[in-house]
């Protein structure tokens, strides 16, 4: 694709405007600076509220894709790319899904995660090249993240993915952007001018973080990887997480700490297996079979065993 973007377009973006509420920032005290940033930050959640219908559609889209062995691929540059990388890194261990199902692409590659590589975000070629390596298909959903909505790298990646049949979503902070036009679905969060003009790592970045959290967490809930509001699929790989796992088992089943720890040990550290065992008095093998049959959903696995045992009316 050819770039139709002009440098002069940048000054017209809402996120590049000078904020009249933060004029004379350089003359403020430290407390005044903190107060004005805090006042602006409080507006972000209200801006995200306006995009909830599109966020909800994306949650269901991502859940459907992952349920059918597809992939969620985040694409972005700079702050946007790092936020996508952060969410992609945290989803697999939190919900015990394969890291191969949640990926991220950032302009400049891994080095861009900890240092600035601004020039590479201007490359349409690199955006297309990086997404092409992932071989996107109709099984996948690709989410392009860009505060401006016009980052060439992200725009090219999203356009290529769409051409290959992938569903595409744009997360932007400027309305009627090129990225919004390319995507199947657009989440537009108009946070307005930044405290520091053009510094989209601030309100825009906060808005993007909130949106990505909603999408990934919401999709995992829809997939059944959460019981009530507990992260029952978390992998207890360290001391903190092992203790969290025991606490989750205690809360769901009502057993004491010792019994919860023993159940987790019997379940080879897998919280869902321990929960199904304790809630139904099933063996480890029975609990594992029920979880496999339910697609890993604890509540459905419990229901499967109870129905088979004639305990359909029992509380889950």
Point out the residues that are catalytic. Answer: 90, 121
Cβ proximity of 151 and 77 under 8 Å: yes
Tokens of residue 212, six digits: 């990505």
Report the SS3 class of residue 76.
strand
Cβ proximity of 271 and 233 under 8 Å: yes
**b/e map 161-172, b = 16+ CB within 10 Å:** bbebebbbbbbb
Cα-based distances in Å from 14 to 77, 297, 304: 19, 43, 53
Place of tokens 């909603």: 214
Cβ proximity of 232 and 299 under 8 Å: no
| H/E segment holding residue 102 | strand 102-106
- ∠ CA 107-113-117, nearest 5°, is 50
Cα-based distances in Å from 11 to 8, 148, 162, 174: 6, 11, 29, 12
Nearest to 77 by CA among 176, 169, 145: 145
- The gap from C-alpha 280 to its chain's centroid, in whole angstroms, comes to 33
Place of tokens 């405007």: 17
């Amino acid at each position: 694709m050819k770039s139709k973007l002009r440098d002069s377009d940048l000054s017209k973006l809402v996120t590049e405007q000078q904020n009249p509420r933060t004029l004379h920032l350089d003359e403020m005290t430290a407390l005044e600076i903190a107060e004005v940033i805090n006042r602006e930050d409080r507006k972000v959640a209200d801006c995200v509220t306006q995009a909830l219908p599109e966020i909800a559609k994306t949650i269901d889209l991502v859940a459907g894709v992952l349920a059918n062995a597809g992939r969620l691929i985040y694409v972005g540059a700079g702050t946007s790319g790092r936020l996508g990388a952060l969410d992609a890194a945290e989803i697999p261990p939190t919900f015990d899904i394969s890291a191969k199902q949640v990926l991220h692409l950032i302009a400049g590659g891994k080095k861009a995660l900890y240092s600035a590589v601004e020039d590479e975000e201007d490359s349409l070629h690199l955006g297309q090249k990086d997404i092409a390596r992932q071989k996107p298909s109709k099984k996948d959903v690709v989410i392009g993240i860009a505060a401006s909505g016009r980052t060439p790298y992200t725009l090219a990646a999203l356009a290529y993915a769409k051409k290959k049949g992938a569903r595409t979503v744009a997360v932007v902070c400027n309305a009627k952007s090129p990225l919004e036009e390319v995507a199947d679905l657009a989440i537009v969060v108009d946070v307005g001018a930044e405290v520091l003009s053009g510094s989209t790592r601030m309100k825009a970045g906060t808005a993007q973080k909130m949106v990505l959290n909603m999408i990934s967490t919401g999709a995992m809930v829809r997939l059944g990887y959460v019981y009530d509001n507990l992260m029952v699929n978390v992998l207890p790989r360290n001391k903190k997480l092992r203790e969290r796992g025991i606490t989750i088992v205690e809360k769901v089943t009502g057993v004491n700490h010792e019994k919860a720890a023993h159940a987790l040990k019997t379940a080879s550290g897998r919280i869902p297996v321990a929960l199904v065992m304790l809630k139904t008095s099933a063996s480890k093998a029975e609990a594992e079979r029920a979880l496999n049959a339910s697609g890993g959903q604890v509540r459905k696995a419990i229901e499967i065993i109870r129905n088979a045992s004639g305990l359909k009316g029992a509380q889950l």
